[in-house]
Structure 1
Amino acid sequence: MIDGVQARRLILAATTLAAAGVVAGCGTTPAHPTEPGVARPDVSIAPATPAPSPTLAVVPTPGCLAPGAALSVGEVDAAMGLRAVTLTLRNCGTAAYTLNGYPVVDVLDADRKVLDVKVLDGTANVSSIERYDGPPKRVDVQPGATAVAVLVWRNLTTDAATVAKGAYLSVAPAEGRPRHTLVLMVDPGNTGKLAVSPWMAL
């Protein structure tokens, strides 16, 4: 038989073993040990890379040539074989654009080659137009404002073999300034000439 002293000794030994097992379970052994030679995956999340800020493209204004002129051509007014069309200069710059003379004009064919057609200063060389007659005057075109000139010719054909057919105009506001290419059907027949007025303020 086990007396009281032996019973207490057995209970104390069992308690000590149980406590030792709990302590062993709380050690530094990982909950999910990795096999030797096998790297554990890195589950850390890298910080997000901020998206680059959008850049705004600078779009140049179509047809605005230095130092700030945009040329355009109107519709042809045709009557009794006489043709007339308005050339318009708009100041697309930031300072006054000074004019004092005639536009410089060449007539081009469909391949943009210069035709043998003279462009004379003064509408009276083809047909007198009272409003546009007279010598050139200085015109200071302010930013956003416009000036005009008129181009005239006659459609006269006496020899079909020498008929000039223009598809474009090459126009500079003045000698030595950048040229603009404008789409315009020009039919001077075989007269071989056009005439242009001086620039005028509107």
Structure 2
Amino acid sequence: MKARWLTLIAVTVVAGCGTTPAHPTGPAAARPDVSFATTTPAPSPSDAVVPTPACLAPGVALSVGEVDAAMGLRAVGLTLRNCGTATYTVNGYPAVDVLGADRSVLDVAVLDGTSNVATIERYDVPPRRVDVPPGGTAVAVLVWRNLTTDAATVAKGAYLSVAPAKGQPRHTLTLMVDPGNTGKLAVSPWTTPVAGQ
């Protein structure tokens, strides 16, 4: 009898270990992979010239990574490279507009702070000053959800118009953006890249 009770207790303990979900759900648990543009493109097998971002005043080049699409949540990395000769300082959010195929500005709101769409812990932070040395980089993340309930009001972007901050020269970056009917995207502030970015 005692052996049967010990066996029952052991089975109950083991079964209880599996009651916590391995992958929590909900906005606070969203952790999509974020892709950033590589600073040094891999050589092409055909030795074709690989275009690089233009260095615009005041000495920065902006680029965009590849969109990660996880369960309707999209995330993509923006990279600012200091291509000038002096330290460049950012303190805040990129200025972003979504453009259509004809490069007209679409009616899509770009909100400051990724928590307006989903919480991404690494980038859901307040703005702070980032000093970017010549050749150095700063990064930000753009997120949105693809939700379509009315085909007549679906927004489809083909480009991003991005400036390091409001009032600065803008860069036009090719990127397919599909916020559907949500009418919004969210962007993180500029921050220092983690190792490997």
* TM-score of the aligned structures, taking structure 2 as reference length: 0.71
Matched, 1:190 2:191: no
Checking the alignment, whether the CA contact within 8 Å between 2:53 and 2:62 is kept in structure 1 is no
1:172 corresponds in structure 2 to 163
**Equivalent residue for 2:69, pick from 68, 71, 78:** 78
Per-residue Cα deviation, 1:69-89 (whole angstroms, up to 9, x for no partner): 000000000000000000000
Matched, 1:115 2:99: no
* Counterparts of residues 34-73 of structure 1 (less than 5 Å): 63-73=54-64
Matched, 1:145 2:136: yes
Match of 1:153, as an amino acid?
W
> Closer, same or farther in 2 for the Cα pair 1:189/1:62, shift >3 Å?
closer
**Equivalent residue for 2:148, pick from 143, 157, 173:** 157
Match of 1:85, as an amino acid?
V
Q: Which runs of 5+ in 1 are unaligned?
A: 1-60
Helix, strand or coil at the partner of 1:132? coil
Per-residue Cα deviation, 1:142-175 (whole angstroms, up to 9, x for no partner): 0000000000000000111000000000000001
Helix, strand or coil at the partner of 1:67? coil
Give me the whole-angstrom Cα distance separating, in 1, the residues matched to 2:117 and 2:158.
20
Match of 1:183, as an amino acid?
T
| Greater Rg over alpha carbons, structure | 1
Give me the whole-angstrom Cα distance separating, in 2, the residues matched to 1:63 and 1:172.
13
Give me the whole-angstrom Cα distance separating, in 2, the residues matched to 1:137 and 1:91.
18
> Which 4+ stretches in 1 moved above 4 angstroms?
none
* TM-score of the aligned structures, taking structure 1 as reference length: 0.69
Per-residue Cα deviation, 1:30-89 (whole angstroms, up to 9, x for no partner): xxxxxxxxxxxxxxxxxxxxxxxxxxxxxxx85101111000000000000000000000
> Closer, same or farther in 2 for the Cα pair 1:101/1:111, shift >3 Å?
same
1:99 is displaced (CA, Å) by 0.2
Helix, strand or coil at the partner of 1:87? strand
Aligned length: 142
1:29 corresponds in structure 2 to none
1:136 corresponds in structure 2 to 127
Q: Identity of counterpart residues, as a percentage?
A: 85
Give me the whole-angstrom Cα distance separating, in 2, the residues matched to 1:164 and 1:63.
28
Q: Which runs of 5+ in 2 are unaligned?
A: 1-51
Match of 1:134, as an amino acid?
V
